[in-house]
């Protein structure tokens, strides 16, 4: 199974191209790059170049995947619209995977309480709490005091994600540590989870969109 995938839920884009045979990833290329809010200009070209570098025609792909959020409103739309366009044009299945679960997946060796986080701006963070790999409660859009309350009962908490350091500095909690992991593996985690979901449950419905925990500024402005 040949898989092409991307995550643009944050300022860092993660791209993946690889092939599985009999449940084993036999080769892959993954890259992480900061595009300074130019995802829309660079994403499709980079994905096509990855395929060209490995002499893979788009028609040879078996599965497309992308992160579903939460994260940047614009970034999520760029990734999913790009992949949906390819999916419809090539008649290939598409699977989207929640972003915060990806952060937990590449840190699955960490036990205890782990909080996956993405900077949601406005002094808030998108969060998902995991204890020994099991998600506790729902994903949230929380202020600092709400996060402090959420983790108060745990003797130690590991922050996951590229914005973990930012949250740690703001919390100033001695019981909080940050996993300094390489997020080069996020592309592999995305492909692994997408492949498993597709084999067990099939592709996303055509009308499935990004995961938004809160409304965008544009939507709020319209209501105002």
Q: What is the CATH number of the domain that holds 172?
A: 3.30.420.40
Quick one: which of 88, 30, 81, 90 has its CA closest to 60? 90
Check whether residue 88 and residue 125 sit in a common domain. no
Contact between 27 and 63 under an 8 Å Cβ cutoff? The reply is no
Model pLDDT for residues 102-115, shown as the tens digit of each residue: 999 999 888 899 99
Residue 157 lies in a domain: yes
Residue 142 lies in a domain: yes
3-state secondary structure of 82: helix
Question: What residues does 3 pair with on adjacent strands?
Answer: 18, 63
Residue 224 lies in a domain: no
Number of domains into which the chain is organized? 2
Please report the sign of the dihedral spanned by the C-alpha atoms of residue 178, residue 179, residue 182, residue 188.
negative
Measured in degrees and rounded to the nearest 5, phi and psi for residue 169 equal -65, -35
- The whole domain housing 81 covers 2-98+183-219
Check whether residue 121 and residue 198 sit in a common domain. no
How many residues does the structure list for the chain?
224
Contact between 126 and 120 under an 8 Å Cβ cutoff? The reply is yes
Residue 76 scores a pLDDT above 80: yes
Residue 26: pLDDT band with limits 50, 70, 90: very high
What is the mean predicted confidence (pLDDT) over 194-218?
87
Residue 25 lies in a domain: yes
């Amino acid at each position: 199974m040949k898989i092409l995938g991307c995550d643009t839920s944050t300022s860092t884009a993660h791209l993946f191209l690889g092939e599985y045979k009999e449940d084993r990833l036999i080769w892959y290329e993954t890259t992480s790059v900061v595009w300074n809010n130019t995802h829309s200009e660079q994403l499709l070209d980079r994905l096509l170049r990855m395929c060209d570098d490995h002499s893979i025609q788009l028609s040879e792909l078996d599965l497309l995947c992308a992160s579903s959020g939460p994260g940047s409103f614009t970034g999520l739309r760029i990734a999913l619209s790009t992949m949906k366009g390819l999916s419809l044009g090539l008649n290939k299945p598409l699977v989207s995977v929640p972003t915060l679960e990806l952060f937990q997946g590449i840190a699955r060796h960490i036990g205890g309480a782990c909080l996956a986080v993405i900077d949601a701006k406005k002094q808030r963070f998108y969060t998902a709490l995991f204890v020994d790999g099991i998600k506790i409660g729902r994903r949230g859009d929380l202020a600092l005091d709400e996060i402090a309350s959420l983790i108060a009962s745990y003797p130690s908490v590991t922050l996951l994600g590229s914005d973990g350091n930012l949250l740690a500095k703001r919390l100033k909690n001695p019981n909080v540590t940050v996993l300094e992991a390489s997020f080069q593996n996020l592309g592999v985690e995305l492909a692994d989870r997408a492949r498993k979901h597709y084999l067990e449950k099939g592709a996303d419905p055509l009308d499935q969109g990004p995961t938004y925990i809160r409304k965008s500024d544009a939507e709020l402005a319209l209501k105002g």
